């Protein structure tokens, strides 16, 4: 038996030491990133793992025993083969994407519209005469304290007051979704105007912007809220501009506590103001444009954003974006200004990952998210959300919950570490399972809600 410890020409020893050091540095860097993200559980686990993952390689390099070189070679071969296999772009199956619905949705059927129905009024009587099966379900959520109620479970004076302030401003902005179109129509270069709109939207705070052809299934059949209740929707615009804005990770991670609705309404407001500015700008150029903002939609924003190439519809029924997951809020502008349509990216990996993940369904307080595989509904293969159960929980909690958003592995901050993981998830079926396993190790299968930040909880 020969001893080659610390000799430069001993390639196996050098590789063992180098491998141990590399794994140690990777886990230490993970620990630092987790600590910066205030994920202290994950940071602690990563730090402890850094010691254990490096130790076997270092110890073997220092020890002397029979067949050491053979064993070292086998260990190194298995280690690097495993890493290589994880990152080789192999997808065992590409799931069928969320297909185009055949039916329009009626906004009168969504929970927000039904929540606005007042007992013993004409609208209330008419709706439940046509939908008697929904009355018992809806009376159940009406018995709860309600969104932002002082009697709700997660009532927080400052967070709720902030959310109400946001909603009041959104309400004040609703008259501006439409406006007068300039008499003179300017000739525009569609490529240049598209580039300008996206750059301007980004400057205004948008995370991503995409353009698609406006389709019939994007639109509601009828309005369902406020004074326009029951009005048939007719929208002759050809194009739709979808906008996403980021919701703060620290606040969303407190879900379902008060700060989640504070942040949610803030980003509804921010996305809405961007949409209003873009719509007004387009009208100044002499083209028709309408902004679709919180509480004043004519369409279903996630479907538009999906077709505009901004993401895919996941298990929780929300748009999953490539770098922020569902941790976004949406607004849309429909218009007749000529615009180039964005090519839809392949986000089938989102469907693949959502199929195996199920973390959102496991933690959902209302059990509104299905644990089963997608089913064909109205000719569309998708996951069906129990919106009644979801909204009833909201009315007890007093917030819009957000637990599904908070625990989604795609929702982790947009940084190099998480983006490498997202890249692996997109390219490899094996990496998807590895990433899910590690996410459960670091964050837990049922991640706990964070504490309310001290600047809010005063």
Whether residue 197 sits in one domain with residue 62: no
Going by C-alpha positions, the residue among 159, 197, 400 that lies closest to residue 289 is 197
What percentage of the chain has pLDDT greater than the value 90? 84
State how far the Cα of 311 lies from the Cα of 347, in Å rounded to an integer.
7
Boundary-marking domain end, from 55, 87, 119: 87
Is residue 226 within 8 A of residue 374, CB to CB? The reply is no
- Could you tell me if 80 and 111 lie in one domain? no
Query: Are 58 and 180 found together in one domain?
Result: no
Same domain, residue pair 56 and 135: no
Distance (Å, rounded) from C-alpha 52 to C-alpha 14?
A: 19
Cα 403-314-278 angle, rounded to 5 deg: 90
Would you state the pLDDT for residue 95? 65
For residue 331, which of 263, 411, 268 has the smallest C-alpha distance?
Answer: 268
Separation of alpha carbons 82 and 84, rounded Å:
5
Of 34, 23, 18, the C-alpha closest to 417 is 34
> What pLDDT was estimated at residue 17?
92
Whether residue 311 contacts residue 347, with contact meaning beta carbons closer than 8 Å, is answered with yes
Residues 80 and 163 in one domain: no
Pairing of strands 208-213, 239-246: antiparallel
Exposure string of 90-115, with b = 16+ CB inside 10 Å and e = fewer, is ebeeebebbeebeebbebbbbbebbb
In terms of Cα–Cα distance, which of 440, 450, 187 is closest to 337?
187
Residue 175 shares a structural domain with residue 295: yes
Residue 222 shares a structural domain with residue 354? yes
Q: How far is residue 256's CA from residue 402's CA, in Å, rounded to a whole number? A: 6
Instruction: Give the chain's domain count.
Output: 2
Q: Which domain holds residue 78?
A: 11-87
350 & 304 share domain: yes
Q: Is residue 48 part of a domain?
A: yes
CA distance 158 to 90: 49
**Angle (CA) 403 404 405, round 5°:** 90
Q: Determine, yes or no, domain membership for 100.
A: no
Within the chain, how many helices (H) and strands (E) appear?
17, 8
Local confidence pLDDT in tens for the 458 residues of the chain: 444 444 344 788 889 999 999 999 999 999 999 999 999 999 999 999 999 999 989 888 888 887 778 888 889 889 999 999 998 888 876 666 666 787 899 999 999 999 999 999 999 999 999 999 999 999 999 999 999 999 999 999 999 999 999 999 999 999 999 999 999 999 999 999 999 999 999 999 999 999 999 999 999 999 999 899 999 999 999 999 999 999 999 999 999 999 999 999 999 999 999 999 999 999 999 999 999 999 999 999 999 999 999 999 999 999 999 999 999 999 999 999 999 999 887 888 999 999 999 999 999 999 999 999 999 887 788 999 999 999 999 999 999 999 999 999 999 999 999 999 999 999 999 999 999 999 999 999 999 999 999 999 88
Specify whether 68 is located in the same domain as 183: no
Residues 383 and 259 in one domain: yes
Average pLDDT, the chain: 93
**78 and 227, same domain (yes or no):** no
What is the H or E stretch that residue 210 is in?
Answer: strand 208-213
Q: Contact, 221 vs 104, CB < 8 A?
A: yes
Token pair in block for residue 87: 């990152």
Q: For residue range 42-72, what is the model confidence (pLDDT) as tens digits?
A: 999 999 999 999 998 988 888 888 777 888 8
Asked whether residue 167 is assigned to any structural domain, the reply reads yes
What's the confidence (pLDDT) of residue 9?
A: 44
Nearest to 378 by CA among 103, 46, 185: 103
**Do residues 95 and 357 lie in contact, with contact meaning Cβ atoms separated by under 8 Å?**
no
For residue 413, tell me if it sits in a domain: yes
Looking at residue 103, its pLDDT comes to 84
Q: What is the pLDDT of residue 94?
A: 66
164 & 27 share domain: no
Residue tagged 């839809």 (tokens): 344
pLDDT at residue 291, rounded to an integer: 98
In this prediction the pTM is 0.92
In a domain, 355, yes or no: yes
């Amino acid at each position: 038996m020969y001893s080659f410890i610390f000799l430069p020409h001993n390639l196996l020893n050098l590789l063992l030491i180098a491998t141990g050091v590399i794994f140690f540095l990777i886990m230490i860097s993970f620990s630092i990133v987790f600590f910066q993200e205030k994920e202290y559980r994950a940071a602690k686990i990563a730090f402890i793992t850094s010691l254990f993952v490096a130790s076997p390689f270092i110890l073997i390099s220092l020890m002397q025993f029979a067949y050491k070189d053979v064993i070292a070679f086998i260990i190194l071969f298995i280690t690097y083969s495993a890493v290589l296999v994880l990152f080789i772009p192999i997808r065992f199956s590409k799931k069928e994407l969320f297909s185009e619905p055949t039916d329009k949705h009626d906004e009168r059927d969504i929970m927000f519209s039904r929540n606005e129905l007042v007992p013993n009024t004409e609208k209330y009587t008419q709706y439940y005469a046509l939908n008697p099966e929904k009355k018992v379900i809806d009376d159940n959520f009406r018995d709860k304290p309600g969104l932002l109620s002082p009697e709700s479970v997660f009532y927080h004076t400052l967070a709720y007051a902030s959310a109400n302030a946001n909603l009041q401003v959104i309400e004040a902005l609703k008259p501006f979704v439409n406006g007068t179109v300039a008499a003179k129509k300017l000739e525009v270069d569609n490529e240049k105007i598209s580039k300008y709109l996206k750059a301007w939207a980004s400057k205004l705070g948008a995370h991503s912007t995409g353009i698609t052809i406006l389709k019939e299934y994007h639109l509601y059949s009828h309005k369902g809220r406020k004074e326009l209740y029951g009005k048939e929707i007719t929208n002759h615009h050809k194009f739709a501009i979808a906008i996403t804005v980021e919701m703060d990770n620290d606040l969303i991670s407190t879900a379902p506590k008060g700060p989640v609705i504070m942040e949610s309404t803030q980003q509804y407001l921010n996305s809405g103001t961007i949409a209003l500015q873009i719509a007004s700008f387009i009208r100044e150029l002499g083209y028709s444009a309408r902004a679709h903002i919180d509480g004043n939609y004519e369409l279903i924003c996630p479907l538009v954003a999906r077709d505009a190439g901004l993401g895919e519809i996941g298990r929780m029924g929300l748009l999953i974006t490539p770098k922020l997951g569902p941790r976004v809020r949406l607004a849309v502008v429909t218009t007749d200004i000529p615009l180039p349509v964005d090519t839809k990216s392949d986000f089938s990996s989102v469907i693949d990952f959502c199929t195996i993940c199920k973390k959102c369904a496991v933690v959902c307080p209302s059990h509104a998210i299905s644990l089963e595989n997608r089913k064909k509904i109205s000719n569309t293969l998708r996951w069906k959300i129990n919106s009644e159960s979801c909204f009833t929980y909201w009315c007890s909690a007093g917030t819009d919950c957000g637990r599904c958003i908070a625990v989604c592995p795609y929702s982790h901050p947009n940084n190099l570490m998480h983006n490498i993981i997202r890249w692996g998830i997109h390219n490899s079926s094996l990496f998807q399972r590895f990433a899910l396993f590690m996410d459960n190790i670091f964050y837990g299968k049922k991640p706990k809600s964070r504490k309310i930040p001290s600047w809010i909880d005063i």
